[in-house]
Chains A and B, each alone.
Chain A
């Protein structure tokens, strides 16, 4: 079982504030690191797939970075809005399989 850890487990953010959280993963047999957003009563939705050390990806106010040598990725939300409230999952891919972390649940307060 691959150990994919996300921290913190949950966080509360005031609307307009920026925040970030971490995914750590094994640094060996790395193929790709995925980020998904999972809103209540919906299915997980893909945000980013990153494969190269130093990769940075951006989608609107959300961005992510990747460090494969030390085995971590950060997800950043700039100027949080209530619609950003969701659980953010990262997943480590070594070949066919993706192993998910437990997620970071973000609640944005108006």
Chain B
């Protein structure tokens, strides 16, 4: 069964460092998303991506964040200069059209 894969499963970084979270969406999906969940809080939307460009982004997704789909397969989230408050579980998701999201298993990011 096709699935969304995310790497790494855990990432520990120092404040101010750049991190890249990687995702491989399901191959025939067209819409791609990043969400995050800070411990004890609700799942928060970061960004949606369609047709090789950002279709919508939240207030959280400031200039420190960027997304790329460099090769038609991977979908990456880059945080340029991490802050303590970026510590969260980051989920990648994809979907074909307007149906259900398929989530990856997440990357737990810890910023020290």
Q: Which residues of A contact B (CB under 8 A)?
A: 1, 31-32, 34, 36, 42-46, 49, 89, 91, 93, 95-103
Q: Which residues of B contact A (CB under 8 A)?
A: 4, 31, 33, 35, 41-45, 48, 50, 55-56, 58-59, 91, 98-106
**Does A43 lie within 8 Å of B43, measured CB to CB?**
no
In the complex, residue of chain A having the shortest beta-carbon distance to the beta carbon of B3: A43
**Does A43 lie within 8 Å of B99, measured CB to CB?**
no
**Does A97 lie within 8 Å of B45, measured CB to CB?**
yes
Number of A-B contacts (CB under 8 A): 52
**Does B42 lie within 8 Å of A32, measured CB to CB?**
no
Residues of B contacting A103 in the complex (Cβ-Cβ under 8 angstroms) = 42-43
Residues of B contacting A101 in the complex (Cβ-Cβ under 8 angstroms) = 42
User: What CA separation (Å) do A34 and B111 show in the bound complex?
Assistant: 32
Residues of B contacting A102 in the complex (Cβ-Cβ under 8 angstroms) = 41-42
* 18 residue pairs from A and B, CB less than 8 Å apart: A1-B59, A34-B100, A34-B101, A36-B100, A43-B4, A43-B91, A43-B106, A44-B101, A44-B103, A49-B100, A89-B43, A96-B56, A97-B45, A98-B33, A98-B45, A101-B42, A102-B42, A103-B42
